[in-house]
Amino acid sequence: MVRPVRVVIADHQEFARVGIRSLLERGPDVQVVGTAGNSAEALQLVEAEGPDVVLVDASLPPAGWLDVTRGILRPGGTTRRIRMMLMAQELTDDTLLCAVRAGVHGYVLKNSPDWVFSTAIRSVADGEPFLAGSAIRRLFSRFTLLPNHDPATVPGELADLSSRELEVVRGIGNGLSNREIARRLGVAENTIKSYASSIMTKLNVRNRVEVALMACRLGLVPLYPALVSTQRGESPRVR
């Protein structure tokens, strides 16, 4: 039997916590192990329960979602492997870009259909970053002016990468999974995982979304590549 995804919900509104818990627990593969009404409670609950995913509201008091995220994902911490997902009543550029920079693995709007929450939780738990379609459009709107890149040259910011790592960056920028990149390059999937880890360290980024955005910004891949995959015909997902 597959172990359910263990989730902690952090939201300052009790009715929101109850409602989200109810919709997530409709399926057999998600278990809400606790809810918190503020950042201090959230951090204590995470330490006690060790969930797979923490779903946190963008307006969580008093310290806010960013401090909670930093507390959970801090380097060397025992909870840094936990996946963070941010939910918000409305989408703002600052919150979205800050979430990506902070290492948040998913972003959903509170008025999203129920299935979006369930899909997002499962995707994030599986290691696949999730951004709703509107979030993706907002992200890419910040990168409308890109340099014309000559494929024969390497942008300065990527100068420390090997030729094989550059191929992996292009794959990530085009929305390919580790397995798909491995198949194209004729290597093992674990090899691609090692390359991806090395790339993120060299570029000083936190996740694959940032790698993809950098690849787009530097003109290494098209602005609107296959980075967005469509699920159910309307829910793009960053992989």
Range of the domain at 218: 156-222
Strand order across the 106-109 sheet: 30-36, 5-10, 53-57, 83-88, 106-109, 130-131
Examine residue 28 and say whether the peptide bond preceding it is cis (omega within 30 degrees of 0).
no
Residues 13 and 88 in one domain: yes
Residues 102 and 196 in one domain: no
Write out pLDDT tens, residues 53-69.
999 998 888 667 877 88
Tokens of residue 220, six digits: 């290494």
Q: What is the average per-residue pLDDT within 186-213?
A: 88
Residues 128 and 197 in one domain: no
Residues 40 and 133 in one domain: yes
Write out pLDDT tens, residues 65-104.
877 888 888 777 777 789 999 998 887 766 777 787 778 8
Nearest by Cα to 221 from 139, 177, 155: 155
Angle between helices 93-102 and 65-73 (to 10 degrees): 10
Residues 127 and 160 in one domain: no
Q: CA 239, CA 237: separation in Å to the nearest integer? A: 6
pLDDT at 152: 53
Q: Find the CATH number of the domain harbouring 217.
A: 1.10.10.10
Residues 58 and 13 in one domain: yes
Residues 33 and 113 in one domain: yes
Mode of pairing for the β-strands spanning 228-231 and 5-10:
unpaired
CA distances from 66 to 94, 95, 100 (A): 12, 9, 11
pLDDT at 156: 75
Q: Are 208 and 168 in contact (CB under 8 A)?
A: no
Write out pLDDT tens, residues 2-20.
789 999 999 999 999 999 9
Residues 134 and 188 in one domain: no
Residue that has been written with the tokens 């693995």 in this structure: 105
Number of domains forming the structure of the chain? 2
